Amino acid sequence: MGPGCIRPIFHPIGKRFLLKVIDMMPENVSSLPSDYIYSIHEDLQTRSLWLGTREGVSVMELADEGKFINYQESGSTHYLPVREVNTVFRDRSGLMWIGTKGAGVFHVDTRKRSFNVIYPHGNDKSLQI
């Protein structure tokens, strides 16, 4: 397994960057669900980081560093009907967009954590999480 998520931290006294590793711990449901992280984006509205991983979407509140809410296809209380999330992107209006492998695109109201699914064949459904 790889190192998970690595966060550079600037150390002002030594004037250098230190690396803080946030690792996957399989026995901890609040850790990263996968060491494969494809995309990271900050949500300025909720002060959180959204990570697209091989095992779904992970959300970390910046005030609670290292603790994640994991939206996954299985094994989580926060359901997401797809396993792999390749892209996470926030648009100018504040919506978070989730690009998946094989399940289309989602857009998310991050304050409500409401996921709207845009299926590849135009069969739109709303999924409340």
Whole-model pTM?
A: 0.73
Average pLDDT over the chain, rounded to an integer: 76
Mean pLDDT per 10-residue segment, the chain (129 residues): 54 59 68 84 87 90 85 81 89 87 84 74 50
Place of tokens 């999330």: 85
Number of H helices, E strands in the chain: 0, 12
Judge residue 123's burial from the number of C-beta atoms within 10 Å of its C-beta, 0-12 exposed, 13-18 middle, 19 or more buried: exposed
Q: What does the alpha-carbon distance between residue 54 and residue 41 come to, in Å, rounded to a whole number?
A: 16
With beta carbons less than 8 A apart as the criterion, state whether 60 and 42 touch.
Answer: no
Interval 73-87: pLDDT, tens: 877 788 888 889 999
b/e code 7-21 from CB counts within 10 Å (16+ = b): eeeeeeeeeeeeeee
With beta carbons less than 8 A apart as the criterion, state whether 76 and 69 touch.
Answer: no
